[in-house]
Chain A
Amino acid sequence: MIQVQNVSKQYRNTDNEIALDNISISFNEGFIHGIIGISGAGKSTLIRLINRLETYDSGDIQVFEYTNLRRLNKESTRMLRKRIGMIFQSDHLLARKTVIENILLPITFHRKPTPEDYDYAESLLKEVGLTEYSNRYPSQLSGGQRQRVGIARALINKPELILCDEPTSALDVITTGQILQLIKNLAKKHHLNVIIVTHDMHVIKEICDTVTVMEKGHIVESGTLDDILFKAKHPQTRIFIREIGLDLSNIIQSHDPNQLLLLKFDESVVEQSIIAKMINELHIDTSIVYANVTPNKKGIMVLQVPSQQESVIHFLRDHKVVVEHVI
Chain B
Amino acid sequence: MLFDLEISVYLKALWETAYMTIASTVFVFLLGLIWGALLYATDQDGLWEHPQLHKIISILTSALRSIPFLILIVLLIPFTRILVGTILGPTAALPALIVGATPFYARIVEIALHETGSDLKETGLSFGATKLQVLLRIIIPESLPALIRGITVTAIAIAGYTSIAGAIGAGGLGNLAYLYGYARNRIFVTIASTVLIALFILFLQIIGDLFVRKTTPK
Contacts and interface: CB of A to CB of B under 8 A. Distances in A.
Interface of A: 51, 53, 74, 77-79, 81-82, 84, 86, 88, 90, 92, 94-96, 105-106, 108-110, 137, 139-140, 157, 163
B218 interface: yes
B127 A92 contact: no
Nearest to A138: B217
Given A92-B119, A94-B120, A96-B144, A105 B127 contact: yes
Contact of A94 (B126, B128, B142, B145): B142
A85 B216 CA distance: 28
A109 B130 contact: yes
A109 B217 contact: no
A84 B122 CA distance: 13
B216 to A, nearest CB: 8
Interface in B109-140: 119-120, 122-130, 133, 137-138
Given A88-B122, A88-B123, A92-B120, A110 B217 contact: no
Given A95-B216, A96-B144, A109-B133, 16 more contacts: A53-B126, A77-B128, A78-B129, A81-B126, A88-B122, A92-B123, A94-B141, A94-B142, A95-B142, A95-B217, A96-B216, A105-B127, A106-B127, A108-B137, A109-B129, A157-B127
B113 to A, nearest CB: 14
B194 interface: no
Contacts of A79: 128
B144 to A, nearest CB: 7
Among B122, B127, B217, the one with the most A-chain Cβ atoms within 10 Å of its Cβ is B127
Contacts of B91: none
B218 A109 contact: no
B217 A78 contact: no
A152 to B, nearest CB: 13
A221 B205 CA distance: 59
A96 B141 contact: yes
Contacts of A94: 120, 138, 141-142
A209 to B, nearest CB: 24
Contact of A86 (B119, B126, B129): B126
Contacts of B145: 96
11 contacts: A53-B122, A78-B128, A78-B129, A86-B123, A88-B123, A92-B119, A92-B120, A92-B123, A94-B138, A94-B141, A96-B215
A81 B127 contact: yes
Chain B interface size, as a band, is 20 to 34
Nearest to A84: B126
Given A92-B119, A109-B130, A81 B125 contact: yes
B66 to A, nearest CB: 28
Nearest to A94: B142
Contact of A96 (B124, B127, B128, B142): B142
Contact of A137 (B123, B124, B129, B218): B218
A88 B133 CA distance: 20
A74 B126 CA distance: 13
Among A95, A139, A163, the one with the most B-chain Cβ atoms within 10 Å of its Cβ is A95
Contacts of B137: 108-109
A195 B127 CA distance: 17
Among A77, A82, A84, A109, the one with the most B-chain Cβ atoms within 10 Å of its Cβ is A109
Among B123, B144, B215, the one with the most A-chain Cβ atoms within 10 Å of its Cβ is B123
A90 B118 CA distance: 12
A108 B215 CA distance: 21
A139 B129 CA distance: 24
Interface in B183-218: 215-218
Question: Which 8 residue pairs are nearest across A and B when measured between Cβ atoms?
Answer: A106-B127, A137-B217, A81-B128, A109-B129, A86-B126, A78-B128, A82-B128, A92-B123
Contacts of B119: 90, 92
Contacts of B218: 137, 139-140
Among A84, A90, A94, A95, the one with the most B-chain Cβ atoms within 10 Å of its Cβ is A94
A193 to B, nearest CB: 16
B123 A110 contact: no
Given A92-B123, A108-B137, A109-B133, A139 B217 contact: yes
A96 B128 CA distance: 20
A78 B215 CA distance: 31
A196 to B, nearest CB: 15
Contacts of B128: 77-79, 81-82, 106, 109-110, 157
A109 B129 CA distance: 5
Contacts of A105: 127
